Amino acid sequence: MIATQPKQADFDQRTPILAVGVDNGHGLLKVVLDADFRQMKVRCPSKFKELREDLLDYPTSKYGSTFYYRDGDAKELIGREFKTGELAYTTDPYGHTKLSDKAEYKIDYALHSILGALGTLPYRQVWNLYLVASIHNSKLFAHQLTEVLEGTHVVNFNGKAASQSIIKLHVGLVAPEGAGSYVYCRHQNLIDPTKIAIALDFGTGTIIPTVFAPGGSIEYREVLSVGGCVDLLDEIARVRELQIYEGGKLGDIELIRQGIENRSFLYGNSGISFREAYQRELMPWLKDRFSLALKTVQPWRKLAGSFVVWGGGAQLPGVAAAVEKFGFTAVADGSWANALGLQRLAQSRLERSK
Ligand SMILES: Nc1ncnc2c1ncn2[C@@H]1O[C@H](COP(=O)(O)OP(=O)(O)OP(=O)(O)O)[C@@H](O)[C@H]1O
Ligand SMILES: [Mg+2]
C-alpha cells in the first residue's frame, strides 16, 4: 500500500464543520462549540500580551494560551506571537493589553481572542469553524468583525516548534449582543416568547437594558452611562488592607474577580479577605444600576411577561435575591447565556444549510 499525502481539498471534506458561539466580552471571552457530540466551553479573560522574544518554556492554562501566527489571511499578524487570557495576565500583571482599554479593540483583538481560546483545547490539525458572534452595535460593526475573523489562519499553539494547526473561520452571523441570551433563556423557559421580555445585562464594562418584542426582535436597548461589574471590583480594590499589601497601589481587580467567582473572597494567596468590603459595596453598586436600568424600561414594564437579569453580574453572590424582590429572575449561568444561545443559533443555521 502506498501512503499518499492527503490534499488540502480532501482535508476540508473530512474535517467536520463545527458550530461555534462567540461572546467577546469586555472582561471575558466566552466560546461554546460542539465537537464530537460534546459541548466544549472556554472562558478566558480578555487580555493579550505580544511576545517579543522566544520562550524556553510555554506554560499552559485552561483560561488562555500562546499562539504564533505563522501564515494566513490576517497579514499584519504573520510572524507574531501572543499570549492571551490568564497567560497574558500572569506574564505581565500590570502591562498587558485589555480588550476594555479601547472601544475598537473589540474588533482589533477579536481574532486574537478566538485563536487564544482554541489553544486551550486538545490539539487538532484542522479546525473548520462556523461562527455566530455578537457585538453591541451589530448594524455598525458586523461587517468589520467579519472581515477580521473570516479566512484561513495557520498557527502554532503553545510554542513555535509545536505542530501547526490550520484554522478556517467562516462567520455565519454577527448578532446584536443579547440575541444569544434571549435564545438561551427561551429554551430554559425563563422567557415567554409570546410576550414582551425585559432583560438587563450586567456585564464587566456595561449595563444594558433591552426590551424584546414577542419573538425576540429588539424593541429598545440602551447602554447605560454607568460602568458594569468593573466598578464594583474597583471599589473593592480601594480597601486599605489591599493597598498596603500592594505597596500603595490599588488592589488588582483580576484577583478580586477570581476571589468572588470562587466564593472564597480571598485576594490571591495573600490570605487577605475582602468579604466585608464586598458585602458593604454590593448593594450601593447594584441599587444605582438597577434603578437606572428600570427607569429606561419603565414604559414596557406593565406590558412585559418576562423579566430577567443576565451577564456575569447575575451570578454575583447576593444579586439574585435582590432582583427577585422586583420580579426579576437572575439567570444562573448568566455569564455563559449569550455564548450558549449563539452556539444554538450557529448549530441550527449550519443544519439548515446542509
Ligand atoms: N460565576 C460567577 N460568579 C460570580 N461572578 C461572576 C461569575 N461569572 C462572572 N462573574 C462576574 O460577572 C462580571 C461580568 O461578566 P460577563 O461575562 O458578563 O462580562 P463581559 O461579557 O466580559 O462584559 P461586557 O458584557 O461588559 O462586555 C465579571 O466581572 C465577573 O466577575
Ligand atoms: Mg457581555
> Tens digit of pLDDT for each residue in 211-229?
999 999 999 999 999 999 9
C-alpha 42 to ligand 2 mean position (Å): 14
**Ligand 1 atom closest to residue 317's alpha carbon, by position in its atom list:** 4
**How far is 47 from 64, CA to CA, in rounded Å?**
9
> Given 3.40.50.12780, 3.30.420.40, 3.40.50.261, 1.10.3720.10, which CATH number is that of 8-177?
3.30.420.40
* C-alpha pair distances (Å), 61 with each of 48, 79, 118, 155, 262: 14, 23, 12, 18, 17
**How far is 238 from 62, CA to CA, in rounded Å?**
29
Interacting residues of 336 by C-beta distance below 8 A, sequence separation 6+: 30, 32, 41, 43
**Ligand 1 atom closest to residue 333's alpha carbon, by position in its atom list:** 1
Name all residues whose Cβ lies below 6 A of ligand 1. 25-28, 203-206, 228-229, 257, 260-261, 311-313, 315-316, 335
C-alpha 9 to ligand 2 mean position (Å): 37
Taking the domains of the chain in order of start, what are their residue ranges? 8-177, 178-335
> Tens digit of pLDDT for each residue in 6-40?
444 444 567 899 999 999 999 999 999 998 789 99
**How far is 156 from 58, CA to CA, in rounded Å?**
12
**Ligand 1 atom closest to residue 232's alpha carbon, by position in its atom list:** 29
C-alpha 206 to ligand 1 mean position (Å): 10
**Ligand 1 atom closest to residue 257's alpha carbon, by position in its atom list:** 31
Q: Which residues of the chain have pLDDT under 50?
A: 1-11
The CATH class that applies to domain 178-335 reads: alpha beta
C-alpha 261 to ligand 1 mean position (Å): 9
Give all strands of the β-sheet with 80-84 in edge-to-edge order: 38-45, 28-35, 17-24, 126-135, 164-176, 151-157, 66-72, 80-84, 47-51, 97-98
Domains 8-177 and 178-335 share a fold: yes
**pTM recorded for the entire structure:** 0.94
C-alpha 155 to ligand 2 mean position (Å): 27
The pLDDT, as a whole number, for residue 139 is: 80
**How far is 31 from 103, CA to CA, in rounded Å?**
20
